[in-house]
Structure 1
């Protein structure tokens, strides 16, 4: 544990320059006293590390001194190579840079860890795109990424789902998110999320912006997803399901089944499930065939009955089986 922490101190100082004991302690989640002891251990090991007192002080490595990444554990090396997303990097125009960086890391690894990194790349592959849709064309992704990195304002013409379909927008791009093969840009000053593939035209506004110091892209995206699902599942339906139907539920509906599902005494399971709009719910429950029966609300049950009657009429089938 201590050896891993010493390597972390070296890498932090190597990548960020001067850091105080308090800053190192916060990063490593240890006490300042522990940092002092670790720095002494690094001194004893001959690392050219020095510290300055005072308000602007801190610890710093001697200019030009670099450490090789021999302190990586097997698990850390595996996680490092598993975390790479080559498809996303290529879309951002960074594919060759990612490859070069991996080669440099591999060269710095001891032989036994090089074997593990090669094994990871040969056995795990991440394909972020879905099965049933072609990858979106995102012609302005590189420009948006450049604006995110350089804090440049963009003026775009954007296609949305409601009237007016095409709108002009001024974006302060705080960050990019890749979700299920689709790129989103989070724009300030009041964070709003846009699909990058829906940008029709784009121009650099020749203007810089400053993102808030406390803006956390990961935290924002987590809240955004929660709010999205809360808005999406705005209603509920009381249903009963066969075992096969219950096994087909996923996501929030599966969670709701686990939370409130109960046997109905006839071999079925009763549950109140979250649903989207009535139109979507009709199509969703029809997919379950005879493995689900909607009991309420009455309006949803009636709409399903209307669809079933129309289907029976379309195919010339009676709604009830003839008596034997």
Structure 2
């Protein structure tokens, strides 16, 4: 496979530059000039129309009409492609039919022996899909189109399952898949700032036909890594600090919890400090902390301590 890889590299280099000498190719590919000549001869014998210009300013080039170069994958690369496709399907990737067609083309292109090797190496690898994600396919396809083409949208959105959907006008900047959920980072015209919206809570989506400009310094990846569930979510304003004490194992597990990773967790082994918006803190954190029983205890803020106490009394009364 190394031979085919090097031959393809020669083709890609010749496509990217007007003319290259054998010496330049050998330097870029870190091989001898004699090996370059041998690969050039093999490419010509296979029907690639490489032009050889003699003289001081000569070299090798490809005609402007040459656009296609074959693809060759070794068994490890084929395995990586198939396994990546499995993960995409498990996430509810909205273009599954197109992905399957692409995989079929790759399989048809390779020989039967290589396909058998591919199947052998990927046997036993599977991804269990989240049942709800496939139902989002039409919504995700429209959302991806609005992100890719910078199209403003109107949505009916409910922040919580018990809330009535509200009309929102959004400029979607980017999509992300996280912990079995799809999210979109979008400029909300109602709030006049970038917010995070869960796609499964969108009941209706319409493209307006109007285009927007994504800020040049905006990175969807950075936004979701730094801001999700902290200050930029659509469920809260501002933020506050939470201090929790407990045994070392419980504090470590809390700090690594997927929901708290973006809350700037800091811990010294016995104490954990978080930064989180107040509404999210009061809605989700008490029930999470209850699962740790007496292994952890809230030190501050006082309203979180009071909510923990209220939930404990409520549970006590329920079971008594």
Q: TM-score scaled by structure 1?
A: 0.62
Counterpart for residue 249 of structure 1: 254
Q: Deviations over 1:53-75 (max 9, x none)?
A: xxxxx9656746744433x2322
Q: Residue 156 of structure 1 aligns to a residue in which SS?
A: strand
Q: Residue 108 of structure 2 aligns to a residue in which SS?
A: helix
- Rounded Cα–Cα distance in structure 2 between residues aligned with 1:12 and 1:89: 36
1:239 aligns with 2:245: yes
- Rounded Cα–Cα distance in structure 2 between residues aligned with 1:235 and 1:43: 65
Residues 281/124 of structure 1: CA separation in 2 closer, same or farther (3 Å cut): same
Residues 109/200 of structure 1: CA separation in 2 closer, same or farther (3 Å cut): same
How far off its partner does 1:79 sit?
0.9
Aligned counterpart in structure 2 of residue 69 of structure 1, from 68, 71, 92: 71
Superposition pairs of residues 85-124 of structure 1, within 5 angstroms: 85=87, 87=89, 92=94, 94-124=95-125
Aligned counterpart in structure 2 of residue 289 of structure 1, from 290, 293, 318: 293
Counterpart for residue 265 of structure 1: none
Q: Residue 48 of structure 1 aligns to a residue in which SS?
A: coil
Counterpart for residue 84 of structure 2: 83
How far off its partner does 1:86 sit?
5.7
Residues 34/135 of structure 1: CA separation in 2 closer, same or farther (3 Å cut): same
Superposition pairs of residues 5-154 of structure 1, within 5 angstroms: 6-8=7-9, 10=11, 18-20=15-17, 34-35=27-28, 41=36, 42-46=39-43, 47-49=48-50, 60=62, 63=65, 66-70=68-72, 72-84=73-85, 85=87, 87=89, 92=94, 94-129=95-130, 134-135=132-133, 137-138=135-136, 139-148=138-147, 151=149, 153-154=151-152
Q: Deviations over 1:189-215 (max 9, x none)?
A: 987654444444444444567768x68
Counterpart for residue 226 of structure 2: 226
Q: Residue 123 of structure 2 aligns to a residue in which SS?
A: helix
Residues 186/272 of structure 1: CA separation in 2 closer, same or farther (3 Å cut): closer
- Rounded Cα–Cα distance in structure 2 between residues aligned with 1:272 and 1:306: 22
Counterpart for residue 260 of structure 1: 268
- 8 A contact 1:82–1:124 mirrored in 2: yes
How far off its partner does 1:121 sit?
4.6
- Rounded Cα–Cα distance in structure 2 between residues aligned with 1:66 and 1:76: 20
Q: TM-score scaled by structure 2?
A: 0.63
Structure 2: runs of 5 or more not aligned: 19-23, 54-59, 234-238
- 8 A contact 2:153–2:205 mirrored in 1: yes
For these two proteins, the number of residue pairs brought into alignment is: 281
How far off its partner does 1:147 sit?
4.5
Counterpart for residue 180 of structure 1: 179
Q: Residue 177 of structure 1 aligns to a residue in which SS?
A: strand
- Rounded Cα–Cα distance in structure 2 between residues aligned with 1:68 and 1:38: 22
How far off its partner does 1:137 sit?
3.8
How far off its partner does 1:100 sit?
2.5
Counterpart for residue 266 of structure 1: none
- Rounded Cα–Cα distance in structure 2 between residues aligned with 1:48 and 1:39: 22
How far off its partner does 1:287 sit?
1.3
CA RMSD of aligned residues (A): 4.8
How far off its partner does 1:166 sit?
1.6
Counterpart for residue 57 of structure 2: none
Q: Deviations over 1:199-239 (max 9, x none)?
A: 44444444567768x688xx422332312254388422231
